[in-house]
């Protein structure tokens, strides 16, 4: 069964304290792995797509990486405005996207 697991569930960081979020997955025929940011009461906002193991994408303080079993979202020197829930999703052989439960990130000034 296709499955996506994110860890940790919640993460509190001091401003400037770098860390990583994990997304592990088991899918048959990965077509893509996606990272989203979601602010309270809003829809998820697209961040990155990764298609194959070894691929990396960067945007400002965020960097996403992909292996055959997991993806990491690295946050370098975070700021309070990076506080949000970060969601990981995978698309398998069909056209469904399966989401994890997210990591709630709080960055303290």
Provide the minimum distance between the beta carbon of 45 and other proteins in the complex, in angstroms, as a whole number.
7
Residue closer to other proteins by CB (options 66, 87) is: 87
- Cβ–Cβ under 8 Å, residues 106 and 84: no
By beta-carbon proximity to other proteins, the closer residue of 54 and 109 is 54
CA distances for 57 relative to 32, 64, 82, 94, angstroms: 13, 5, 17, 24
Nearest Cα to Cα of residue 82 among 109, 58, 48: 109
Cβ proximity of 78 and 107 under 8 Å: yes
Contacts to other proteins by CB under 8 A: 4, 6, 31-32, 34, 36, 41-46, 49, 51, 87, 89, 91, 94-102
Q: How far is the CB of 109 from other proteins (least distance, A)?
A: 25
CB of 17 to other proteins, least distance (A): 24
């Amino acid at each position: 069964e296709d499955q996506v697991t994110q860890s940790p569930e919640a993460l509190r960081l001091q401003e400037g304290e770098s860390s990583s979020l994990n997304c592990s997955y088991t899918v048959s025929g990965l077509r893509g792995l996606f990272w989203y940011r979601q602010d309270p009461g809003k829809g998820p906002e697209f961040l990155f797509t990764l298609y194959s193991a070894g691929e990396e994408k960067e945007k400002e303080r965020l960097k996403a990486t992909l292996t055959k079993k997991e993806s990491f979202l690295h946050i370098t020197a975070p700021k309070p405005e990076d506080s949000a829930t970060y969601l990981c999703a995978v698309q398998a052989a069909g056209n469904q996207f399966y989401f994890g439960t997210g990591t709630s990130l709080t960055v303290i000034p």
